[in-house]
Amino acid sequence: MTGAPLFERMALIGIGLIGSSLAQAARERGLVKEIAVSTRSPATLQRAEELGLGDSYSLDAAVAVDGADLVILCVPVGANEAVAKWIAPALKKGAILTDVGSTKGSVIDQVGPHVPQGVHFIPGHPIAGTEQSGPDAGFSTLFEQRWCILTPPEDVDQAALEKLTAFWRRCGSDVDRMDARHHDLVLAIVSHLPHLIAYNIVGTADDLETVTKSEVIKYSASGFRDFTRLAASDPTMWRDVCLNNKDAILEMLARFSEDLSALQRAIRWGDGDMLFDLFTRTRSIRRSIIEAGQDMDEPDFGRHAKDKPFISAD
Ligand SMILES: NC(=O)C1=CN([C@@H]2O[C@H](COP(=O)(O)OP(=O)(O)OC[C@H]3O[C@@H](n4cnc5c(N)ncnc54)[C@H](O)[C@@H]3O)[C@@H](O)[C@H]2O)C=CC1
Ligand SMILES: O=C(O)C(=O)Cc1ccc(O)cc1
């Protein structure tokens, strides 16, 4: 989708995987006239400049947001409040302020109070990423055929919401809107818990005394390897996610632990029916994901593979 630029000046605060991908997507698709980049670390800023991600670069986030009509916070969620305090006095009246954080309630609580009158604050979350981090990890197609969830306040300025929605659509995403608390509950089960489980299982394997680390590496089946990919995700980012979506994650963990105990009991008592029934039920979730065209490992990823038969071993 091409067209006239939507914004004069986009400021990206934080230029890791997501900031870098946004810079490249916006540039490639002509979504903004100018890109201002700011980040905390001089080495990262220098790398962003070497990669040509922006038109201007500053270690001072207030300098980057000066005159910007779109400001996107692309930092770990635990850093949002400090950044918001810092940039608040420099934000332009009428600007859209958004973010890409994996948690939304915390961003509203921590950023919201610092947003000046006349600035449109609309939190967002692209459900697109990888286990990589830093500016070199970014790529322009990251958001294509992925969802972006916006969690606007009830009294949101409709024109600003439409403009931000258009921005994400032109990055290639489908846009959904929902309440922040609901977002946090949904993401706790589909993203935060899987990462926690991955960190835990890889940690458990690493702690084993009877099985050596080299055996774990040598014989890792693809299931374990999938966990190691997730468990290689950025520690700062995931520490912040856990601390900033505490209630929803604890709620999902409690349910998960109960279900795991039931599985444990079924194995102990030889309840094959229970195991078979659960494994049959879960198989259909996988089938639905493939049918919805949401499986990135599938050759047909992104195409709605409704007419592709699900291959069963039976
Ligand atoms: N990695 C992923 O797969 C996804 C991440 N997100 C969210 O996007 C945000 C950014 O994540 P990534 O780009 O993956 O992280 P990253 O680690 O690749 O980049 C983070 C950037 O923020 C900068 N930064 C950290 N603290 C800062 C501070 N106090 N002030 C200014 N800059 C600071 C770092 O220097 C770096 O440039 C996070 O909130 C994360 O929850 C959302 C979707 C997917
Ligand atoms: O790499 C993966 O599998 C991910 O799950 C990426 C991801 C990480 C965090 C998000 O908030 C959204 C997407």
Mutating to test ligand 2, I would choose from 191, 239, 240 the residue with most ligand atoms within 8 A of its C-beta, which is 191
Distance CA 208, CA 248 (A): 30
Distance CA 309, CA 255 (A): 33
- Tokens 């990135």 -> residue: 296
Mutating to test ligand 1, I would choose from 237, 240, 241, 243 the residue with most ligand atoms within 8 A of its C-beta, which is 237
Q: What is the pTM of this model?
A: 0.94
Distance CA 279, CA 172 (A): 35
- The pLDDT value recorded for residue 213 is 82
Topology of domain 7-179, CATH: Rossmann fold (3.40.50)
Decide: 64 and 56 in contact? Cβ < 8 Å: yes
Decide: 174 and 150 in contact? Cβ < 8 Å: no
Residue 212, classed as helix, strand or coil, is coil
- Which residue(s) pair with 37 in the sheet? 12, 57
- The pLDDT value recorded for residue 279 is 95
For the chain (length 314 residues), average pLDDT per consecutive 10? 90 98 98 98 98 98 98 98 98 98 98 98 98 98 98 98 98 98 98 98 92 85 92 98 98 98 98 97 90 65 39 42
Residue 194, classed as helix, strand or coil, is helix
Q: Which ligand is nearest to the CA of 80?
A: 1
Q: What is the distance in A from the centroid of ligand 2 to the CA of 220?
A: 22
Check residue 308 and report its DSSP letter: S
Q: Which two tokens stand for residue 223?
A: 């299931």
What mean pLDDT is reported for the chain? 93
Decide: 184 and 245 in contact? Cβ < 8 Å: yes
For 296, the enclosing helix (H) or strand (E) is: none
Structural domain spans, the chain: 7-179, 182-291
Distance CA 155, CA 143 (A): 27
In CATH, the number for domain 182-291 is: 1.10.3660.10
- Portion of the chain with pLDDT greater than 70, in percent: 93
Nearest-CA residue for atom 15 of ligand 1: 16
- Which residue(s) pair with 58 in the sheet? 38
CA 8 to chain centroid: 26
Atom of ligand 2 nearest to the CA of 233: 1
Q: What is the distance in A from the centroid of ligand 1 to the CA of 159?
A: 28
Are both 7-179 and 182-291 of the same fold? no
- Tokens 């332009």 -> residue: 92
Residue 170 makes CB contacts below 8 A (sequence gap 6+) with: 1, 3, 6, 29, 31
pLDDT digits over 234-282, tens only?
999 999 999 999 999 999 999 999 999 999 999 999 999 999 999 999 9
Q: CA torsion, points 157, 160, 161, 162, in degrees to nearest 10?
A: 120
Question: Cβ atoms within 10 A of the Cβ of 164, count?
Answer: 25
- The pLDDT value recorded for residue 202 is 95
> How long, in residues, is the chain?
314
186: nearest Cα among 251, 121, 235, 238: 251
